[in-house]
Structure 1
Amino acid sequence: MKKIHNTLSDKMEVGEATLNVCLGSGLVALDVIVNGNPSTPAKLCAGGSCGNVLSILSFLGWKSSPIARLSNNNASENLLNDFKKFNVNTSLISCTSDGSTPIIIHRILKDKFGNPKHKFEFKIPETGVWLPQYKPTLKTAVDSIINEEPTANVFFFDRISRSALNLAKYYKSKGALIVFEPSSMKNDKAFQEALALANIVKFSHERIANYDTEFPQPMCDLEIQTLGKDGLKYRLKASKSNLWKLIPPFLIEGVIDTAGAGDWCTAGIISKLGHKGVKSFFDSGLNEIENALNFGQALGAVNCIFFGARGMMYNLTPNMLENYISELILNQSINIESINEYQNTEMTSISNFKFDMIL
């Protein structure tokens, strides 16, 4: 396996004074993490696929700027405070009365055999009332976003909207690597446009099982299909083949929560292939691409030792994480006991949590 280059994130380009930049549009939410025990305080943290990927990239040394249209309520305040713990740029997030701050209950459970599992809930348990859902950024905001961030190394989006497509088109014209991570598929004009703009598309086989049927030939330069505990597979448009190649997973002990593994994988891939925009991606050979996929999977595997989609960020420093990832890639195993002895940053915890506290 190729050695991890310099630092975990390759965060600074030689001779440059600025960090790599990733902008992201899509699901930015407040996660409420519970485990079913009423005596255990609920933990609040920024979440959603876009929120997680951008937060992780900031942790890896990038300047990350999520784009979101949130409400002006306590949920947004908690979400933004969590972003700020990890130096995420929040200047492209609006908080207005006509916005919406999605709230996702992340419930950590065990199956009948004692194995960890999790589920996401979108209704208040006591009342059955729907929690706030995602609202896309308005297309009228695109010009102001571009004025504030005229260039980026990477543009990421996980929800299709006119604003996201317009931003992807603009940043692609400026040399950015475009990464699309859909959570569902509707093979319509908008989805086709998203694929045409994207250099990389990454999706879960559990959520989009019929991608191969709808698109027997590669539509994007790199297509990544995650397979849960079985790893991932990928194919390249340049290979002139529709065959997928399997990249096996890293198997580690002590797994307690698999949520967020895919977001860590995405952020790891971006950090390795997108640090010079689309140029670094097209300059990458097969070994570099597979190294990036392995790096992403290693990040996702280690995060499974912690509670929460980004639990690793609250328990390890970037330098500690680099050491553990290097150990995992080299030896296919890590010392779990040494990891669990450390805590870096605390999540916000609320005893006797009620949803009216944040709505």
Structure 2
Amino acid sequence: MRTKHGAPEVVGTGFTVLDRIYADGGFSAEALGGSCGNVLVSLAMLDRAVAPVLVLGCDDVGRKLVDEFQSAGADVSFISLHADLASPVLAQELDTTTGEHRFRFTCLDTDAEFPRYRSIGVDEAANADGAIGTCAVFYSDRVSVGIVTAMESARSSGAVVYFEPSDIDDEELFERALRAATILKYSSDRLGGDLDARTAASGAISIVTHGEAGLEMRQGTDVRWCDAIATDRVMDTCGSGDMVSVGLIDWLLSSRGTPGPEMTLGGLVRGVVAGQRLAAENCGYAGARGLFQEKGAMHARRILSLP
């Protein structure tokens, strides 16, 4: 199966879960979430041709996640549903007066532990090799043998490999992922001490986030700072980083930017700022994709299209 767009522009894999949101002490909503899930489904809603490569359980949660991707227009033919797995769930506790949130891998009502995310393997990567080898952008926020194999295949085929790690679990696999990455985005608080020196010597463009202060763009010795964009209302800061990625990847795929090995910081600034605008607006709504859910994809597209 292919989307109405034909071959996928964006292929991605990584942390995808069902988010259960508890706002101000009570359950409020549940929706597809996780960094990878948020980025891919948002791009699909923006009318980009997206193909997630995932392993989920053949259960109600897994079918709900597939349905959300499919409703957004994504190609779901590379999502594998397994009867012996339980699909991952994550609880988000949100204080809408401060915009602060925290995550739990246990149910807030029963204290039962939720099923955890499971990475794709080599077989799933091989099954999607045709899409991986023809996409313009490959996205991942995790590493595994299957994921890194896919990253290397995408890079060798000329795709932009967008890597957004949150931690370093396997040093050897992580090093391979760094070598395959075209764009590396990470939090200064979480990974700055581990990655700053290592990425300075690499050819990858790094986007280093500093929370509400803004972010740095780095390529070798070239460093540029982008201040955070102010917003009138902050209800939920969850998903802000994902929206920056959505904006930049969307910009890369547009006529304003051409994905390829000759990208420079100056060429990417407009895409990063577009993502920052989307992130600032999204903070005014509950949920990692609250803006999309409350105002719709056309509103998000208008924000991204501002000069």
For the residue of structure 2 that corresponds to 1:206, the secondary structure is helix
CA contact 1:218–1:235 (8 Å) conserved in 2: no
Please list every run of 5 or more consecutive structure 1 residues that lacks an aligned counterpart in the other structure. Answer: 1-16, 331-359
Query: For the structure 1 residues 122 and 220, does the alpha-carbon distance in structure 2 shift closer, same or farther, using more than 3 Å as the test?
Result: farther
Q: Which has the higher contact order (CA 8 A, sep 6+)?
A: 1
C-alpha separation in 2, matches of 1:154 and 1:213: 24
1:149-160 correspondence to structure 2 within 5 Å:
150-160=133-143
> How far did residue 229 of structure 1 move?
0.3
**1:269: which partner in 2?**
248
Task: Give the corresponding residue for 1:164.
Answer: 147
| Structure-2 residue corresponding to 1:27 | 15
Equivalent residue letter for 1:117: E
Counterpart position of 1:75: 61
CA distance in 2, matches of 1:79, 1:187: 28
The separation in 1 between residues aligned to 2:294 and 2:109, in whole angstroms, is: 32
C-alpha deviations, 1:168-195, integer Å up to 9, x for none?
A: 1111121111111101125722111000
Supply the distance in 2 between the matched residues of 1:37 and 1:118 (Cα, whole angstroms). Answer: 12
Q: In the alignment, which of 154, 157, 172 is matched to residue 174 of structure 1? A: 157
Distance 1:86 1:134, change over 3 A: same
Q: Within 5 Å, which residues of 2 pair with 1:27-106?
A: 27-38=15-26, 42-106=28-92
Normalising by structure 1, we get a TM-score of 0.77
Task: Name the % identity.
Answer: 26
Q: Are 2:292 and 1:313 equivalent residues in the alignment?
A: yes
Separation of aligned partners in 2, 1:82 and 1:292: 26
Displacement of 1:150: 4.3
C-alpha contact 2:132 2:154 (8 A) present in aligned 1: no
Q: Alpha-carbon deviation of 1:216?
A: 6.5
Amino acid at match of 1:268: G
C-alpha displacement of 1:20: 5.8
RMSD between aligned residues:
2.4
Q: 2:272 aligns with which of 290, 293, 304?
A: 293
Q: Distance in 2 between matches of 1:275 and 1:189?
A: 34
CA distance in 2, matches of 1:115, 1:74: 33
CA contact (8 A) 1:70 1:95 kept: yes
Which of 206, 210, 223 aligns to 2:206? It is 223
Question: How many Å apart are 1:99 and its aligned residue?
Answer: 3.2
Q: Is the 8 A contact 1:53 1:266 kept in 2?
A: yes
> What amino acid is the match of 2:284?
I
Which letter maps to 2:150?
Answer: L
Looking at CA atoms only, which structure, 1 or 2, has the larger radius of gyration? 1
Higher alpha-carbon deviation: 247-256 or 145-154: 145-154
**Counterpart amino acid of residue 145 in structure 2:** R
Given that residues 274 and 281 in structure 1 are in contact (C-alpha distance below 8 angstroms), is that contact kept between their aligned partners in structure 2? Answer: no
Equivalent position SS for 2:56: strand
State whether residues 278 and 303 of structure 2, in contact with CA within 8 Å, keep that contact through their aligned partners in structure 1: no
SS in 1 for 2:154: helix
Q: Distance in 2 between matches of 1:77 and 1:30?
A: 11
- Cα distance in structure 2, aligned partners of 1:77 and 1:187: 30
Give SS of 1:210's match: helix
Please, which of 190, 203, 206 is the counterpart of residue 207 of structure 1? 190
Counterpart of 1:128? 111
Question: Among 219, 223, 232, which residue is 1:253 paired with?
Answer: 232
**TM-score, normalised relative to structure 2:** 0.90
Measured against aligned partners, the alpha-carbon deviations of 1:29-64 in whole angstroms (never above 9, x if no partner) come to 1111121444xx531211111111101111222111
Residues 30 and 216 (structure 1), Cα distance of their counterparts in 2 relative to 1, 3 Å cut: closer
- Quick one: distance in 2 between partners of 1:318 and 1:19? 22
Q: Using the alignment, how far apart are the partners of 1:302 and 1:185 within structure 2?
A: 30
User: What is the SS of the residue equivalent to 2:272?
Assistant: helix
> Structure 2 CA distance, aligned partners of 1:149 and 1:244?
31
| Alpha-carbon shift at residue 156 of structure 1 (Å) | 0.7
Deviation at 1:293, TM superposition (A): 1.1
Give the deviation of 1:161 after TM superposition: 0.5
Letter matched to residue 174 of structure 2: F
Equivalent residue pairs, number: 302
Hey, what's the Cα distance between the residues in 2 that align with 1:325 and 1:145? 30
